[in-house]
Every structure is written in C-alpha cells, then in structure tokens.
Structure 1
Amino acid sequence: MHHEPALTLTVPGNILLFGEYVILEEGGLGIAAAPGVYARLTADPIHESSPGLIILEGKMETHGPGRSWFLDTRSDDPLDNTKPVLLHSVWRTLGYPPVTRGWRLTLDTREFVYPDNRKRGFGSSAAAAVALTAALMIISDHPEGADPARVFPRALDAHRHFQGGRGSGYDVAASCFGGTGMFTGGAQPEWTSCHLPWLPYLGSYPGPEEIATPGSITAYTRWVSGHPSKHQALIQDHNHLLRALTEAATWNTAQPLAENLASLSLELGRTIGRSAEIPPPPWPHIYYKASGAGNELGVFFSQEEEPGNLKLSSRGLQVIRAKGFSPSDR
C-alpha cells in the first residue's frame, strides 16, 4: 500500500551564470538560475514520541556506500550536539521553535550527483537549507507558513551559519524562488526574477578540477584589501555590463556583453590565483564560461537542444500537504 507523507517539499538546484565574486559585495550583481534537479523532503509524525523530537534521515547523496553529508553532527555545541549540523543551523535560526509532536524528516538529494558520485555543482546544501527551513516552519506552526519570500531570509541565515558565516546567498535565492533572476548581493540580498529572451538553451558540464570555494573567497578578499581602487572599478564595470545584459533582447546584443563579463571573470581569476579557464563543452555552443569560484563547473549557451542542456525549474520551493494535515497533535 502506497504511503502518502504528511508533508512533501521539493526544492530545485541552483547555478550561477554571471557574477563570480562580485555578488559577495554589497550591491554586487549576478544572474543565477534554478535547474530542474531537486532536493525532496518528506515529513511524517512519529506517534507516541516525545514532543519536539526531530529525526533526520537521508537518502544518500551517493550511488554506493556512504553517508549523506547533511547527517553529520556537531559534537562541540553545548546546546545541542546530537542534531545534524545543517538541521541545527536551521533550528537555531528559527529560534528553537516549540514542536508539539515528534517528526521524522527524510531528505533526498541524490539528483545532485553523477552516477560516479561526483557532485554536479548545483548547490545541494542551499537547496537542503531551503527544504529544512520550510519544513520546520510548517511543523512548528510558524505564523508565516512556508511562503518563499518568508523562507528565504531564514534559509539564508541558516545556510550562512552552516558555512561558517560566509556565502553570498545567490544559491539559496535561486533554489527558493526558481526560474532565472538577477541577484543583488549584500547583508540582506535581493532576488528579482527576469526573463532572458536571448537564452533559448542553457547547459552545464564538469570542469577540470574541484575547487574549494572558501579558499577562493579568501584569495579574493585578500586582493580586495590590497587593491581598493581596482576593486571598485571592477564592481562598477561588472554591474554596468550585467544590467545591460538583463535588458538585451537578442543574442547579437547580449553576446559582446556576455563576453566582456567572461573576460572580467578570467582576469580576476588570474589575478587572485584561482583560474577560471575552462575547456569548451563537447557539444555545439555559442558561448561558454566557468561558473562560480574557479573552473569546477562550466556553463554554455546553445541555439539548439544538446545532450548537456538543463531543464530549468520555473518554480522554486513547492509544498504539498496531505489531506487533513496538522502540525500539532491536537
């Protein structure tokens, strides 16, 4: 007999098209999208359990033996050293809300890896943060429910805490809202949905090496502190090009803007010692570049559908409640 979970949430992945490093700055602009690769979370009440008991299980983000990264616990936290780190970060952000019954959460992020267990680069931790934040807001009967606009700042805070206080938040925004959007960086970042008529097909492919994002951010921050005038010029030039790109109606108009943005990214990567050089994709394309900090992932645009193309998710966070669902045990 098929079991219908009390609560089901789906959250798409995320990918950065333009805006490497600049989106870390207050007012820095970027363009991101939500590929149709999903984190899925289900929640069921645990009958006859202690109120507030939250058990998180994982469908492993591997295709073989291994343990899901989001099940690792933090052993040095005096408040709670049993909850998985990401769940604890969400729990903290929401102010340790009261939950009147026990819950079992199952989080599945297997779509975020290739069959050989390499990560696909679609931001599984950000998608998981959105799913867990929304789920805990619902089961704790939060007055704001799980509206994406309300979930976003809380998921962002939780994800930043999980990452040690860093992170622009573009990944959380793209996963939360879906589609394609312009991201404005800062302490309280913003997401503005936008349609890019010159981008009929978007694809991605793995780059030559895995990059540790924190190390790249450290290298960038060091360069910024030593070259303030060059840094300001970079932000101004980049933002000018990116605004024009979001307003372009055809590829003929968008192409030189996109190529100039890629050149800025390549030059910055060489300057800080984190190469953004990446080989072209193995499929026909009209444009390609590295995405994110380094050359771990490549994105390409094509005029026709190719094997590496991504189907974008027009919607972000989705919540399905079973008939008769109630977060309390009353």
Structure 2
Amino acid sequence: MVSASAPANVLLLGEYAVLEEGGLGLAVAVDVRAHARASAASPADAGIVGTMGATAVRWPGDSGLLGALAARLQTRYGPLHDRIDLDTTEFFDVAGRKRGFGSSAALTVVLAAVWAHGVGRPVDPTEAVGELVEHHRAAQGGRGSGYDVATSCLGGCVLFTGGARPAAQRVDARWLPPLALFAGPQPIDTRRAIGAYTEWKTAHPDEAARFLLESNDAVLRFVNADSWEAAQPAFDDCARLGRALGDAIGVSASIDTPAAVRVKAVGAGNELGLAVL
C-alpha cells in the first residue's frame, strides 16, 4: 500500500496578477490536507473512489474534474492497476461547502503521486511542479494560474510567477506573524470573477497594465522584507489594490472590520478573509 498527502493552499498576495504572464503572487500552504491511498487490486476493482465534500466520487464513471484528471494521468503514466482511495473532506465545511483552500490542486498532487508510483514511474511533486500544473490545467479545460498546485507541491511559503510556463520557489518568511483565515461576507463564483476581470482588462488595457506593475512591485517588496514591520506597507498596498480592482470589475474584495484589525481579502473576491493577529 502507498499513501500520500498534500496541503491546502491560500494566495496571500497577487490576486488576479498571477493569471498574467510574469504576474507575481505569494501563497502559503495550510495544514488542511488531501489524502490518497493506493492498494493492490484486481483488474475489475482497479479505479478511484472517495469523497469530495458531501459527494461520493468514483472513476471510471466520473464525468467531472476527477474523470478529466484521471484521463490525463492515464495518458501520461499508463493504465491504473490499483484501487485509489481519495479523501478531501478537510477542504469542506460540515454543510459540504468548499472552504476555499484549493482542494482540486491538492487532489491533483496526491492522485498523480500514487498513480505514477503504482505504475513504476514515481513522481516527486517538489521536482515536477510544471508537470502537475499542466495536469491540473488540462483537467479544468486549460484554466488556472497554477499557484495552488505549486504551493501544494512545495509547501511552506511560495513566490509564484504566472504564465504559460509558470515558476515557483519557496521563500523564507519565518518573520510572518500569526495569521487567521475567516469566512467573508459572501460566496464568490471564481469563474465569473475571472471572466469579469478579463472583460475589464480588455476594455481598460492601460489600467490593467498599471495594476500588474503595482501589484508585482508590492509583492516583491513584501518578499524582500526581513520583518513584519518592514513588510506592512507592501501588505497594505496589496490590500488596497485588491479592493480597487474588485470595485472596478464588480467583484467586491472589501471586508468590514474594526479599524484596529489589519485584514485583507484573499482569493477572487471577499469569500475568504485573512486577519493579522
């Protein structure tokens, strides 16, 4: 039997910028994990079973994300000979709603790892970030920046550079203060939010270019800081840019909190908030 787990991921800085060629983002791994366990099986029993929230999934037979991902992995690594049990329950709340921690990315990492190991072609996720990003993108119809997969592969704090061939590297941010994630005021449809951003970018190319430059500058200043005190202005600039962009595209990134609390929306809107403790 072979098992693997991968952490959740949260994009702290660089929302929407990571969708662009050369766009920078800073993400962190979160100790919420996806699990996969592969065990020997007869040809009739080989396949994938598990849960995604409150939904039971099984492949062969799944026509959603799991089915698309399995088809991609089968083409890349060869036929599956094992039974793989998946568990992503930690990524969902008690009502079965996603918590916003990148469940599909973490699932991609663990599923690819145990599948490839089972056919004698082991993959080390820390050395195959680009390959795993491609698997995830293909399963989503070519969409996705890849920061989520990269962070679930590498763990820790990750500086991500978006584009057709994205890059990612771990950075030392041990000076970060304690951070808390909390549910924001409203759920966000990420596809709709990205669609709104794309329409805005097409209609306002000069503003979009300025946004990318300012966002990249703020992310780099944050990464190059050596203390939270030094990084605070960059953090605040990222929060300000996110709120302004949210207003411009009609997807709010504002969260009402007491002035004494430093907060920032993370992700494509205000579905998830980050508080600095």
Aligned to 1:34: 29
Structure with larger Rg? 1
In the alignment, structure 1 residue 103 sits paired with structure 2 residue 78: no
Aligned to 2:275: 300
What 5-or-longer segments of structure 2 have no aligned partner?
A: none
Return the offset for 1:233: 1.1
Aligned to 1:267: 244
Aligned to 2:95: 116
Matches within 5 A, 1:208-287: 208-280=185-257, 286-287=261-262
Contact 1:86 1:158 in 2 (8 A): no
Alpha-carbon spacing, 1:8–1:278, altered in 2? closer, same or farther (3 Å): same
In the alignment, structure 1 residue 129 sits paired with structure 2 residue 124: no
Contact 2:72 2:138 in 1 (8 A): no
Aligned to 2:20: 25
Return the offset for 1:117: 2.8
Q: Deviations over 1:18-51 (max 9, x none)?
A: 111000001000110010001010000114x36x
Return the offset for 1:167: 0.7
Which of the pair has the greater relative contact order for Cα pairs under 8 Å at 6+ separation? 1
> What count of residue pairs does the alignment treat as equivalent?
277
SS in 2 for 1:164: coil
Matched residue type, 1:117: G
Matches within 5 A, 1:183-222: 183-222=160-199
Alpha-carbon spacing, 1:72–1:209, altered in 2? closer, same or farther (3 Å): farther
State the distance in 1 between where 2:175 and 2:160 align.
Answer: 19
What 5-or-longer segments of structure 1 have no aligned partner?
A: 1-5, 74-79, 303-330
State the distance in 2 between where 1:111 and 1:45 align.
Answer: 26
Contact 1:34 1:180 in 2 (8 A): yes
State the distance in 1 between where 2:139 and 2:21 align.
Answer: 21
State the distance in 2 between where 1:82 and 1:198 align.
Answer: 44
Aligned to 1:56: 48
SS in 1 for 2:78: coil
Alpha-carbon spacing, 1:241–1:21, altered in 2? closer, same or farther (3 Å): same
Contact 2:93 2:99 in 1 (8 A): yes
Alpha-carbon spacing, 1:96–1:84, altered in 2? closer, same or farther (3 Å): farther
Contact 2:49 2:58 in 1 (8 A): no
SS in 2 for 1:95: helix
Identity, in percent, stands at: 39
Q: Deviations over 1:234-277 (max 9, x none)?
A: 11111111111111122222111111111111000000111101
RMSD across aligned positions (CA): 2.2
Return the offset for 1:88: 3.5
Q: Normalized per residue, which structure has more helix?
A: 2
Aligned to 2:72: 92
Alpha-carbon spacing, 1:191–1:272, altered in 2? closer, same or farther (3 Å): same
